């Protein structure tokens, strides 16, 4: 299912691009794993542990999630293990068969490498989540460097994140593209100084959800749309 049409088409002039910044969950990897894990699997385990109904567990958990969304705690597995009294790392490893790379992602990464572009993975995901997903997918070797928001000290939704990242990897914002499935992150990057045309919104973050194009940024469904 596709909801709406893209207001802005994604057209990259590869001659002026030398750096690629890529989000992980929902952008390179199917967000179905994360949605299922936090919205369905954890509530079941939490309900069983606390001897409450699934309905009550979902209500309690969603309220806690909302309070931390967009913060470093939101993706901190150690925080949630302590907060919920569950071994979140072990639970993620148990469900790792749902971790999958989106279609055409590997083709795109190889295309960027072939054309001598520097590729960085820039994620809000916790380092322990990152380790699980890199082990499962085997895509770590495509990147010059992998940066987690905990290393920067703030989430990507904060414009200051991009200032600090610029200092860390020394990219030129006018020769860089950023691909994300989160408009709030793209908003922050634009406030920092990225050109809108080089901020790419991934409109199908999950294999189980419809395509939803951004009304603010150029959208793609699959990365093959950027391969010329």
* Residue for token pair 């954890």: 42
Q: What is the pLDDT of residues 44-97, one digit of tens each?
A: 999 999 999 999 999 999 999 999 988 889 999 999 999 999 999 999 999 999
At 69 the pLDDT is 86
Question: In the predicted model, is pLDDT for residue 3 greater than 70?
Answer: no
The model's pTM:
0.94
d(CA 150, CA 79) in angstroms, rounded, equals 12
Going from N- to C-terminal start, the domains of the chain cover: 2-30+100-226, 33-97
For residue 4, pLDDT beyond 70: no
pLDDT band at 2 (very low <50, low <70, confident <90, very high): low
Architecture of domain 2-30+100-226: 3-Layer(aba) Sandwich (3.40)
pLDDT digits over 141-189, tens only? 999 999 999 999 999 999 999 999 999 999 999 999 999 999 999 999 9
């Amino acid at each position: 299912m596709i909801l709406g049409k893209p207001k802005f088409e994604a057209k990259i002039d590869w001659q002026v691009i030398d750096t690629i910044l890529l989000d992980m969950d929902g952008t390179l990897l199917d967000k179905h794993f994360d949605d299922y894990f936090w919205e369905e699997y954890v509530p079941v385990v939490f309900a069983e542990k606390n001897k409450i109904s699934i309905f009550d567990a979902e209500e309690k958990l969603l309220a806690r999630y909302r309070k931390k969304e967009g913060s470093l705690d939101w993706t901190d597995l150690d925080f949630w293990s302590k907060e919920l009294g569950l071994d979140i790392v072990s639970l993620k490893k148990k469900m790792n068969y749902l971790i999958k790379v989106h279609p055409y992602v590997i083709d795109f990464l190889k295309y960027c490498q072939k054309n001598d572009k520097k590729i960085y993975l820039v994620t809000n995901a916790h380092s322990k989540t990152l380790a699980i997903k890199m082990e499962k997918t085997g895509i770590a070797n495509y990147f010059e460097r992998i940066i987690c928001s905990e290393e920067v000290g703030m989430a990507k939704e904060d414009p200051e994140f991009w200032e600090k990242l610029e200092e860390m990897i020394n990219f030129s914002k006018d020769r860089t593209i950023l691909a994300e499935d989160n408009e709030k992150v793209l908003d922050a990057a634009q406030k920092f100084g990225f050109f809108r045309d080089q901020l790419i919104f991934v409109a199908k973050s999950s294999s189980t959800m419809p395509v939803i194009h951004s009304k603010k940024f150029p959208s793609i469904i699959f990365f093959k749309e950027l391969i010329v």
